[in-house]
Amino acid sequence: MQSRWNEREAAEAVERWKDVGADLALRVHSSRLIGAERALVLHGGGNTSVKTRRKDALGVEHEVLCVKGSGWDLKTIEPAGLPALELAPLRAMEALTRLDDETMTNELRRRLLDVRAPNPSVETLLHAFLPHRFVDHTHADAICVLTNQPDGEQRVREALGDEVLVLPWIMPGFPLALAVAKAQRAAPGCIGIVLRHHGLFTFGDDARTSYERTIELVTRAERYLAERGGSPPPLLAAAPRSSESAARQELAAALPRLRGSLALRDAQGEITTRFLADPRTADDLRAFSAAEAARALVEDQGPLTPDHVLRTKGPYLYLGRAEWSDAAATRAAVERYEQRYRAYFAEHRARVASPRELDPKPRVAVLQDLGVVGFGADAKAAAIAADIAEHTVRGKAIGAALGAYRALAPGELFEMEYWSLEQAKLGEKKAPALQGRVALVTGAGGAIGHGICAELLDAGAHVVATDFDATLLERTVALLRAAHGEARLQAIAGIDVTDENALARAFDEASLRFGGVDIVVPNAGIAYAAPLAELDVERLRRVLEVNTLGVALTLRAAARHLALQGCGGDIVVQASKNVFAPGAGFGAYSASKAGAHQLGKIAALELAALGVRVNLVHADAVFGGEVPSGLWAEIGPERMRSRGLSERELRDFYRERSLLKREVTPRHVGRAVVSCVRDLTRTTGATLPVDGGLPDAFPR
């Protein structure tokens, strides 16, 4: 591992954050250097601190400890992420013989200079009790691998030398703070302290010294592991049995089955939570998944550090080829995992006061020959689980090559998993209405497609936006990304809904990105206006192919996918007011949409047995907003000429002819789709007009 320290960048950091002083500016800078190294910390792991001086609102200067606050990630931390606490009262607590977690938390908040600041790290007292100005704590992979050996203490001493102290596993909080302080005072010349099954503390009187001690000690550990265990270790070195592309093709079928098995249900069998997937298929991960030793390592041994248990649980789910390739076998394997988890909870629940059992579903699965998959309530949580699992699997392989990988005992891991201060990190945020749901929208590049995708994202769904036209799709997706970011959005261009192979690719890619699809919106459509006597046969054929055959093929692909996934779902067909109130000169479009409407009704009849609801939205006079309407680009000029109206006057005409006399936008269509999929009324086969109120188009 190489030091990232650069004096010019350090000086720039002091200038950038000059309002908070050089000490805190350098603390932020070196914290970010640590956070940028994934082999040191992952997703909010680790913590850092600096002891400095700060004035309160009354101008009184205090000696303070600025320590990482809960919810901040070292990779992107700002000065606000290191709240200041009065140091003297914290140090006075070292005289106590006992301090429970709730009292400690309360005392820490009392000592904050700013009551609006985030909760300081649960290891704040450890930072306070150490005498050094700068303290760094990491969960370095190499250090954790060394400590997760039966003879871990000896391994650490061999790798790091006598300048480093080694402590046994001690639960974080007040007991650990006392133990670390006592050990450091007994050996004041030490440059670091390793905590078994936990990680590394380094310290110094300046930011660079503390940071570079971390880098030096981790480098020593990495060299030791490479020399003693091989580089790469045998479990990661074998050639995968199939190519990565072949593995991903098999994953595309396996993931929906697995995702459906992981869905949480209430006592009535209704799904309450769906998980998103994030698969990882690198060569070494697939090699590990194929190894004979893999099952025992992931099922029987816990994580590199107990800090990860909140994100991944302790054991992972292992699925052999016969298990992931068959729906019933997949469900049976998940059920066995759940039974083991419930037995684990029953065995150890007395270790924690009044624990509330967490859901028993796995958060990581290792699929033989295919790699590793993380699961979470949303794409971000799934990615966190997958990132941690990647490092853990590689660490376990290195540990097995070194000697034997032996993680923290299950009972002690339970205490960490159900520790109230750890649970508080996850918070109790109210989930959005469509959290965990994945929607695939065809024709997403147009005005209505944009409105549908935007409203689904607003409601918390993950969206797979597809279109045939890459340019139109990129324009729409750029707007969606600007409003919602990247994590919950996937764009797939080149999807011709009249091509069954293209549709199969769309569902496969959605499965590989998110694990499956729950909501399908057949929205792709084209317009063509001409009297019957003047119809161009080729254009008529294309309208029927896209608007009717395209819906039929999308419904077929959706039915197959939702049956494979096995946890219900929703389909919302975007039809048209013309189904009920066709217009002269619009025969091709009206007939094609009437066909789509009938297909939607048939789908409602056929898919109800799968728990799939199929409803229809009938829009009219949607001119577009941020994205222009392709339909009106096609028929608008003729409508303006025939009525002698300008574009603005044409919009006014369509608005005024409705009962409500209000404009209909793409967002209104999107909200109609969202209302259909929220399952508020237990409705299927329904038609919902979005047209401002047109009596001749009332559904009959």
In 289-386, the DSSP E strands lie at 317-319, 364-367, 371-376
The pLDDT value given to residue 583:
86
- Taking alpha carbons only, the member of 552, 594, 620, 397 closest to residue 389 is 397
Q: Count CB neighbours of 14 within 10 A.
A: 17
267 alpha carbon, distance to own chain's centre? 27
Overall average pLDDT of the 302-310 stretch:
94
* Per-residue pLDDT at 23 exceeds 80: yes
Overall average pLDDT of the 492-500 stretch:
98
Look up residue 426 and give its two tokens.
């996850």
Look up residue 175 and give its two tokens.
């007991």
Q: Are residues 339 and 246 in the same domain?
A: yes
Structure confidence at residue 243 as a pLDDT band (50, 70, 90)? confident
Instruction: Report the percent of the chain where pLDDT is more than 70.
Output: 99
Residue 654 falls inside a structural domain:
no
**CB of 655 within 8 A of CB of 621?**
yes
Residue 140 falls inside a structural domain:
yes
User: DSSP label at 350?
Assistant: G
Residues of the domain holding 109:
7-229
Q: Are residues 372 and 420 in the same domain?
A: yes
Rounded to whole angstroms, the Cα distance separating 558 from 545 reads: 18
* Per-residue pLDDT at 427 exceeds 90: no
The pLDDT value given to residue 55:
86
- Region of 72 please: left (phi>0), alpha (psi -120 to 50) or beta: beta
* Per-residue pLDDT at 109 exceeds 70: yes
Rounded to whole angstroms, the Cα distance separating 379 from 227 reads: 38
Structure confidence at residue 629 as a pLDDT band (50, 70, 90)? confident
Residue 545 falls inside a structural domain:
yes
Q: Are residues 370 and 447 in the same domain?
A: no
**CB of 375 within 8 A of CB of 261?**
no
Structure confidence at residue 655 as a pLDDT band (50, 70, 90)? confident
Rounded to whole angstroms, the Cα distance separating 138 from 210 reads: 12
- Taking alpha carbons only, the member of 369, 282, 353, 277 closest to residue 319 is 369
Q: Which amino acid is at 661?
A: K
Structure confidence at residue 209 as a pLDDT band (50, 70, 90)? very high
Rounded to whole angstroms, the Cα distance separating 465 from 442 reads: 7
Q: Give the model confidence (pLDDT) of 447-459 as tens digits.
A: 999 999 999 999 9
**CB of 565 within 8 A of CB of 516?**
yes
| pTM for this predicted structure | 0.94
From residue 530, how far is each of 536, 539, 594, 620, 638 by CA, in Å?
Answer: 8, 10, 17, 18, 10
DSSP 84-123: EEEHHHHHHGGG-S---HHHHHHHHHHTBSSTTSPPBPTT
Look up residue 102 and give its two tokens.
């709730």
Structure confidence at residue 241 as a pLDDT band (50, 70, 90)? confident
Rounded to whole angstroms, the Cα distance separating 288 from 390 reads: 11
Q: Are residues 257 and 392 in the same domain?
A: yes
Q: Are residues 406 and 290 in the same domain?
A: yes
The pLDDT value given to residue 498:
98
Q: Are residues 71 and 89 in the same domain?
A: yes
Q: Are residues 224 and 255 in the same domain?
A: no
The pLDDT value given to residue 318:
98
The pLDDT value given to residue 606:
98
CATH code, 610: 3.40.50.720
Q: Give the model confidence (pLDDT) of 571-587 as tens digits.
A: 999 999 999 999 888 89
Q: Are residues 186 and 282 in the same domain?
A: no
Residue 509 falls inside a structural domain:
yes
Tally the domains of the chain. Answer: 3
In 205-312, the DSSP E strands lie at 264-265, 271-273, 276-280
Asked which of 396, 424, 452 is the last residue of a domain, the reply is: 424
Q: Are residues 242 and 362 in the same domain?
A: yes
- Report angle CA 444, 697, 525 to the nearest 5 degrees: 20
* Per-residue pLDDT at 27 exceeds 70: yes
The residues, ordered by sequence, that sit 6+ positions from 72 with a Cβ below 8 Å of its Cβ are 44, 78, 81, 82, 118
Interior/surface letters 590-628, b for 16+ CB within 10 angstroms, e for the rest: bbbbbbbbebbbebbeebeeebbbbbbbbbbbbbbebbb
* Per-residue pLDDT at 511 exceeds 80: yes
Instruction: Report the percent of the chain where pLDDT is more than 90.
Output: 86
**CB of 315 within 8 A of CB of 299?**
yes
- Report angle CA 192, 195, 201 to the nearest 5 degrees: 35
The residues, ordered by sequence, that sit 6+ positions from 333 with a Cβ below 8 Å of its Cβ are 317, 319, 323
Rounded to whole angstroms, the Cα distance separating 325 from 333 reads: 12
CATH code, 316: 3.40.225
β partners of residue 86? 64
Residue 647 falls inside a structural domain:
no
Mean pLDDT of the chain: 94
Q: Say whether 610 sits in a helix, a strand or coil.
A: helix
Map tokens 């820490």 to a residue.
108
Q: Are residues 247 and 217 in the same domain?
A: no
**CB of 63 within 8 A of CB of 51?**
yes
Kind plus residue range of the DSSP H or E element containing 379: helix 379-402
**CB of 503 within 8 A of CB of 550?**
no
CATH code, 178: 3.40.225.10
Overall average pLDDT of the 375-384 stretch:
96
* Per-residue pLDDT at 487 exceeds 60: yes
Asked which of 375, 392, 424 is the last residue of a domain, the reply is: 424
Residue 73 falls inside a structural domain:
yes
Q: Count CB neighbours of 235 within 10 A.
A: 25
Q: Give the model confidence (pLDDT) of 148-170 as tens digits.
A: 999 999 999 999 999 999 999 99
Overall average pLDDT of the 358-386 stretch:
97
Asked which of 424, 449, 484 is the last residue of a domain, the reply is: 424
* Per-residue pLDDT at 425 exceeds 80: no
Overall average pLDDT of the 280-304 stretch:
96
Look up residue 134 and give its two tokens.
């700068």
The pLDDT value given to residue 107:
96
Residue 649 falls inside a structural domain:
no
Q: Which residues are catalytic?
A: 589
Beta-strand relationship, 612-619 and 462-467: unpaired
Q: Say whether 522 sits in a helix, a strand or coil.
A: coil
Q: Are residues 464 and 543 in the same domain?
A: yes
Q: Are residues 349 and 458 in the same domain?
A: no
* Per-residue pLDDT at 605 exceeds 60: yes
Rounded to whole angstroms, the Cα distance separating 651 from 629 reads: 12
The pLDDT value given to residue 652:
86
Residue 134 falls inside a structural domain:
yes
Structure confidence at residue 637 as a pLDDT band (50, 70, 90)? confident
Q: Give the model confidence (pLDDT) of 172-187 as tens digits.
A: 999 999 999 999 999 9
Overall average pLDDT of the 63-67 stretch:
98
* Per-residue pLDDT at 322 exceeds 80: yes
* Per-residue pLDDT at 632 exceeds 60: yes
Structure confidence at residue 426 as a pLDDT band (50, 70, 90)? low
Q: Count CB neighbours of 578 within 10 A.
A: 20
